[in-house]
Amino acid sequence: QSLFSRVNTESYTTCDKMGRHNFCFLKSIVLEHAYIRMRTDKLFGENNNLGILWSERDEIKTAQTYLESAEALYNQYMKEDGNPPLDPSEHFMAEEEKLTDQERSKRFEKAYTHTLYYLAQVYQHLEMIEKAAQYCHTTLKRQLEYCGYYPVEWALNAATLSQYYLTKECFMESRHCLAAASVIFSQAGQVPSAEDNETEQDQQDLRQRKAEIARCWIKYCLNLLQSARKLLEDNIGELDPDRQLELKAQRKKEEDEKEKGRKKAVLFGTSDICDSVLAMEEKVSSVYPLDFQEAREIFLVGQNYVQEAKEFFQVDGYVTDHIEIVQDHSALFKVLAFFEEDYERRCKMHKRRIDMLEPIYADLNPQYYLLISRQLQFELADTYYEMMDLKVAIGNRLEELDSHTIKKINSLAQLAIKYYELFLDSLRNPDKVFPEELEEDVLRPAMVAKFHIARLYGKLITSDSKKQLENMQTSLEYYTFLVDYCEKYPDAVRAVETELELSKEMVGLLPTRMERLRAKLCPFI
């Protein structure tokens, strides 16, 4: 720091002598920048994903002060002068070696890009997340403007940034990043590789990156649909038609003005890139879909990207990635089903989910893919449950429940039970014994599975009273498990408060009901 201020003072003195005001700006920016580089490089270095970096807050604050003043100086300088200042190295060069204006400008702008890039990191570490994202965005934008980027790397960064916007439900920004990523990525294939012997691996890498960008698109479509669902659903998770009308009217009103205002600030690229990006954007909407038709269009785009991503991430070699993509595909169907009014068609969509998840689950060795196989068990169980619910709803519309529908309902319920049981079996220890005390991370899933099974046994339809009694007895046992477990391990209560409360009620009510049923079965005893 002392070195910095000394040189800085000197430079100001020189400036005064020479009467070149602008030079001062340059010098201080450049020097501050050099100093900041040193500091920030030291601070941020090359931290890796696993290391949760916690540098000293003081140091970051100092860096922030310097960087922000560098940023302000740049802005002021560009406003007041506009010509590129001398590069620091030029002070030590002979007159004839001096840089061209163009080169000078390039270096100056690059230095400023770096300032923004460091600021992004500073804000990130100060947990000013939105500001950090904004600076990342600007950095990307400037890299593009000044042609300082590697296409693949840039595209991947833009695609990743799109995922940040997704979590903030900024779909327009997210789509813009993705469209730009796709456009810039397509440049990469056109650049011939320098070393031919590496091409095979490079090609492989390139294909992987392309598939990764496709996966970001899948998430985009999925999140857009899911957010729309959240807006449209009523308190039991069905589409609320009043809300639908309301949102449609609202959309008409705001559509134009708002979007255009927001867009200007984040737009990437020079005019020709911009045109390609806009063309890319037109392929999928960035506003919430409000009816089945709109939802279907987004669904189809997502589904195309599912195919594209699966081309690279094949199950043989990329099990986890492949399954994650299939899970997204299933989730796309699930959210599309929400928009579908017809129960039969809705049921078919869930059947598609079963058809894609079941074979994958069957081939999976839980020894290596425990978590994912548990996820699949749970999702399959839930999907069967959902289908059963739909069949019940369809049955209720009929005059009388026909035996075919009853059979269907029962078999769906049995399948749901089967997968919940498989999940519970996965918790058994190597000796196949169900653990006395559940680990915290599986506590809630396990209790919920027990609770759902209890409920399902209560829903099985049978005209045979004895069978009905048996089912009630099984149901009671599962509810009792929850109650007993929470009595034994009171810490578990807070994980399943509602489930416990209801289970207690059922444990109280079911025996009386069973008694009545028994009394009716053998009225003379």
Cβ of residue 21: shortest distance to other proteins, in angstroms? Answer: 26
When the beta carbons of 41 and 341 are compared against other proteins, the nearer one is 41
When the beta carbons of 265 and 493 are compared against other proteins, the nearer one is 493
Cβ of residue 438: shortest distance to other proteins, in angstroms? Answer: 10
d(CA 122, CA 41): 11
Cβ of residue 460: shortest distance to other proteins, in angstroms? Answer: 9
Planar angle of CA 342, 347, 351, nearest 5 degrees: 150
DSSP state of 150: -
When the beta carbons of 298 and 392 are compared against other proteins, the nearer one is 392
Cβ of residue 239: shortest distance to other proteins, in angstroms? Answer: 14
The stretches of 81-127 forming alpha helices (DSSP H) are 101-125
Residue 458: C-alpha distances to residues 146, 388, 455, 513 (Å): 67, 13, 5, 12
- What is the token pair recorded at 100? 């061209």
DSSP state of 366: T
When the beta carbons of 331 and 354 are compared against other proteins, the nearer one is 331
When the beta carbons of 15 and 455 are compared against other proteins, the nearer one is 455
Cβ of residue 377: shortest distance to other proteins, in angstroms? Answer: 8
When the beta carbons of 273 and 502 are compared against other proteins, the nearer one is 502
When the beta carbons of 200 and 256 are compared against other proteins, the nearer one is 200
3-class DSSP string for 456-515: HHHHCCCCCHHHHHHHHHHHHHHHHHHHHHHHHCHHHHHHCHHHHHHHHHHHHHHHHHHH
The helix/strand/coil state of 233 is strand
d(CA 339, CA 46): 46
Cβ of residue 467: shortest distance to other proteins, in angstroms? Answer: 12
d(CA 296, CA 333): 10
Cβ of residue 96: shortest distance to other proteins, in angstroms? Answer: 23
